[in-house]
Chains A and B, each alone.
Chain A
Amino acid sequence: MQLARRLHVALTLLLLLTPSGVAADELTGTWTGQLRGNMHYFWERSTRVVLPEGGVQLESPDGLRLGADLLVDVITSASIAFAGSSEDALFTEFRYEPQLSIGKEFRLDRAKLDLTALARYSTENDYTSYSGGGIARLALNQDNTVLGVTVVGIHDEIRASNNAGFRETLDGWTAGVTFEQVLSRTTVAVLGYQIGALKGFLGNAYRRVLRDGAPVGESPPRARTRHTAYGRLMTYVPPIDGAVHLLVRAYTDTWDMLAINPEVRFYKEFGDFVMARLRYRYYAQNDAGFFQDVYAADWPGAMTADPKLRAFQAHLLGLRVDVDTPFLDGSFLDFASDSSIYLSVDRNFTGISYGAALVGTAGGVLRF
């Protein structure tokens, strides 16, 4: 079984990393595009995630964009949440997520309107998710102002592999607006707001809470409305050939949760090909209004044992290096001279064991 799983992963990787046979030539006015591939790795004390993904985007001579992506989520966990309240079992799950997108930019009189529609499907043995939506971006004032609107809808179907009778659904939608403004020759600001509403089963089919000392299935509220506001200030600093980006995100919802999430990123360009990014991210949240470590026998409301619904803080430090490859121009790797590759490593520190993780990501884009 272990060998079969490894073979499964290897074949999937091979499919994702093999360049397609599409031949595009921009000079002849035919299709252009890009191939992209990424490999993500997440390490936590009780969980490992390997997530390869790949995709292709094609653009027609008149600007129509077609995209197709596929990711595979390979999760290996040792978790009492899945096996019951007293066992600590090791298991591996696969999740597949294909995504299709189509978009086009329209030139208006004194503006540019970019429209994108996307559809996504995610499946694993006990969870299926369908989502689709659209993104509109309107660039005004010679691109000094960009307004964005995003709308996404989801429908999820939830099952439990240890309970054939368990069938639940989750439906929701998200709508967001963004406002991007050039402030000077070196500075850009972005502000955004997003609202989302979910209705249905919002828990984990396997997780148990302690009620009066006995484990029972968790039962969080069946509706949740989420508000997120965020901002980003980016400024280029010519003397150091780099930029500083300040980000902040504030969140609240109808589960009585509050969270704040500031982040600072420092970018440094080294010559024409290399760029490094150093970042620090802080995250803090309170506990959900109904969260308890142990529930009384006569507890009248919602119950959860979800550790991410308790109060905690987290600090993240990360380093990323990007390398562009125009130096390959004229070499035997000339076909890859308009490409870029990157490697990033992040370490997340939390006051609880859950979420204290090491994350590595590597990938690249090959343009043609």
Chain B
Amino acid sequence: MPIPRFPRAAPRRVFLPPARTLLALTALAMFAGCAHVAPYEREYLSRRSMDTNQREQAEQRFWAHVSEAREGAGGAGQSAGGGCGCN
């Protein structure tokens, strides 16, 4: 079976370039002033199911380590290296 000399004939278009991402962030920032929920209106926002970052922190950190070792897009600087070729 012939082995291709180069795997790619031409560079592919990046579907989410940084400039577009920054544009999306800027667009959302423009809406920042439109919504204002006062502290006494936050009954729902303060529920356990809406405030999960702290309680899921350890689990997410472990998953970052797992994905770093098992997925090509994993990690991206989230966790320290290991001798398993995780980089």
Contact = CB atoms under 8 A, between A and B. Distances in A.
Interface of A: 36, 38, 40, 42, 51, 53, 73, 75, 81, 93, 95, 97, 120, 122, 124-127, 129, 131, 140-145, 152, 154, 156, 158, 170, 172-174, 177, 179, 181-186, 188-189, 191, 193-196, 198, 201-207, 224, 226-229, 234, 236, 238, 241-243, 245, 249-253, 255-259, 261, 267-269, 275, 277, 283, 285, 287-292, 294-296, 298-301, 306, 308-309, 314, 320, 322, 324, 340, 342, 344, 354-355, 357, 359, 361, 363, 365
Nearest to A298: B5
Interface in B28-60: 28-29, 31-33, 35-39, 41-45, 47-50, 52, 55, 58-59
Contacts of A186: 44-45
A207 B5 CA distance: 22
Contact of A122 (B16, B28, B48, B81): B81
A255 B14 CA distance: 12
Interface residues of chain A: helix, strand, loop or mixed (majority): strand
Contact of A258 (B15, B29, B58): B15
Interface residues of B, number: 60
16 contacts: A140-B32, A144-B37, A174-B76, A177-B25, A183-B35, A184-B35, A198-B87, A226-B73, A243-B47, A250-B15, A257-B73, A285-B72, A288-B72, A296-B3, A309-B72, A355-B71
A181 B28 contact: yes
A294 B3 CA distance: 8
Interface in B62-85: 62-63, 65-66, 69-74, 76-78, 80-85
A256 B12 contact: yes
A257 B21 CA distance: 17
B83 A308 contact: no
Given A204-B84, A259-B71, A229 B21 contact: yes
Contacts of A320: 59
A36 to B, nearest CB: 7
A268 B84 CA distance: 37
A309 to B, nearest CB: 5
Chain B facing A: main interface SS: loop
Contacts of A36: 58
B39 to A, nearest CB: 6
Contacts of A355: 70-71
A194 B22 CA distance: 10
Given A38-B58, A236-B44, A268-B49, A129 B81 contact: yes
B35 to A, nearest CB: 5
Contacts of B24: 191, 229
B76 A124 contact: no
A120 B3 contact: no
Given A283-B71, A354-B70, A355-B70, A174 B77 contact: yes
Nearest to A236: B44
The winner among B50, B58, B74 for most chain A CB atoms within 10 A is B58
Given A182-B37, A182-B45, A238-B44, A361 B84 contact: no
Contacts of B36: 141-142, 144
A81 B85 CA distance: 10
A236 B50 contact: yes
A292 B5 CA distance: 10
A165 to B, nearest CB: 17
A210 to B, nearest CB: 11
A38 B37 contact: no
Contact of B32 (A144, A241, A243): A144
B82 to A, nearest CB: 6
A204 B70 CA distance: 13
A122 B65 CA distance: 13
